[in-house]
Amino acid sequence: MEEVKGLHAILQQLYNSMLTQSGQLIGVGQGLAGFGALFYIGIRVGRSIAKAQPVDVFPLLSPFAKGLAIILYPSLIALFNGLLSPINDGTAAMQTNATASIETLLKQKEEALKGTIQYQMYIGPTGNGDESLWERYSGDATGSGVFSGISNAFQFSIAKAYYNFKNAIKGWLAEILELLYQAASLCVDSVRTFNLIVLAILGPIVLGLSVFDGFHHTLHHWLTRYITVYIWSAVANIFGAIIATIQTQMIKLDLNQIQSAGAAYFSPTDAGYLIFLLIGIIGYFSVPSVSSHIIHVGGGDAFAARVGSTFKRFIPF
């Protein structure tokens, strides 16, 4: 699973490397802004002259401010990322702490399982179990006849196979669901990175178009979408921390049950652990819609809703 988690770092490196491509569109954005500034200033100055009114200079500075933003676009996008990155870093620390607690408790659970009678009977230090210990605790030891020894050996093999099968089923389910859980997180991060790359690279074009009358809203929508998509990672980290905290409490219950009752295989808390992994898989696909509740400026919600509906198509229920 560590290899899957490492893919998140690759996506971040991809974003950083692709971000430099936005510099190739700065010239195009400047051209659009300059052409739009001519119309923007000409219309307002001409209207004031036609009405014999004084020219209000302050609104005419808007195209120049946007043109300066295009020139300094790499620094501008770096400023946005610098302001937003502490949110992701803080929530990532929350998830890391919760995950570390799970790993510690799982090790304690493994050590507690090794101390149970069932583990010593069917696994033991050698991995082959201890038939004499099984006979002592199972109460199936019979006389010293030849067939009784064969019967006990056969019964012990069946009991050991059943014990290993139940543990194997639990392990397979846990590994599959854990893989799907990490895959869901990676899927959200991949879509987030793709959207951030497109929004960042086309930022100069958006700034250039926003100079034209009737396109002023594009800058607000671009900024809203960029911030909303950027905090997907923070929302996913918070969701992961919540699931990890629930899992921590369930593992503690399982650990107490093992220490008190000596349960060494599938238990109700194991089932709950797997159920919450399944909930986590489904819940990750709600990250876009939850992010839209945090940042919403005239239309950003519709974008997140479309992305969320796309994710839901992959969920059969």
Mean of pLDDT values over 245-264:
73
Sequence ranges of the domains in the chain: 2-312
Span of 5-9, 184-188, 197-201, 236-240 with lowest mean pLDDT:
5-9
Confidence of residue 124 (pLDDT cuts 50, 70, 90): confident
Residues 62 and 229: their CA atoms lie apart, in Å, by 27
Residue 309 confidence (pLDDT): 56
Structure tokens at 232: 């997907």
Average pLDDT over residues 188-217: 86
Low-confidence winner among 95-104, 116-125, 142-151 (lowest mean pLDDT): 142-151
The pLDDT, as a whole number, for residue 296 is 64
**282-316 per-position pLDDT tens digit:** 888 888 888 887 876 554 445 555 555 554 454 44
Whole-number pLDDT of residue 299: 46
- For 211, residues 6+ apart whose C-beta sits below 8 A from its C-beta are 32, 33, 36, 37, 40, 62, 63, 66, 67
**Higher-pLDDT residue of 156, 73:** 73
The predicted-structure confidence for 45-103, as pLDDT tens digits, reads as follows 777 777 777 767 667 777 888 888 888 888 888 898 899 889 888 888 888 888 788 77
pLDDT at position 146 is 44
More confident residue, 202 or 167: 202
pLDDT value at residue 300:
43
Q: Are 199 and 229 in contact (CB under 8 A)?
A: yes
- The pLDDT score that the predictor gives to residue 206 is 87
Shortest CA distance to 118 belongs to which of 132, 140, 137, 139?
Answer: 137
CA separation for the pair 109, 107 (Å, rounded): 5
**CB–CB of 87/124 below 8 Å?**
no
In contact, 40 and 213? CB cutoff 8 Å: yes
3-state secondary structure 251-279: HHHHHHHHHHHCCCCCCHHHHHHHHHHHH
Rounded to whole angstroms, how far apart are CA atoms 255 and 109?
6
Lowest mean pLDDT, pick from 148-157, 212-221, 224-233, 264-273: 264-273
Asked whether the predicted pLDDT for residue 175 surpasses 60, the reply is yes
Q: Is the pLDDT of residue 16 over 80?
A: yes
Band of pLDDT at residue 131, cut at 50, 70 and 90: confident
- Top-confidence residue, 80 or 163: 80
Which residues make Cβ contacts (< 8 Å) with residue 265, sequence separation at least 6? Answer: 118, 163, 166, 167, 170
Contact 227, 192 (CB under 8 A): no
C-alpha torsion sign, points 12, 13, 18, 23: positive
Residue 313 CA neighbour count, 13 Å, CB half: 5
* Cβ count within 10 A of residue 9: 9
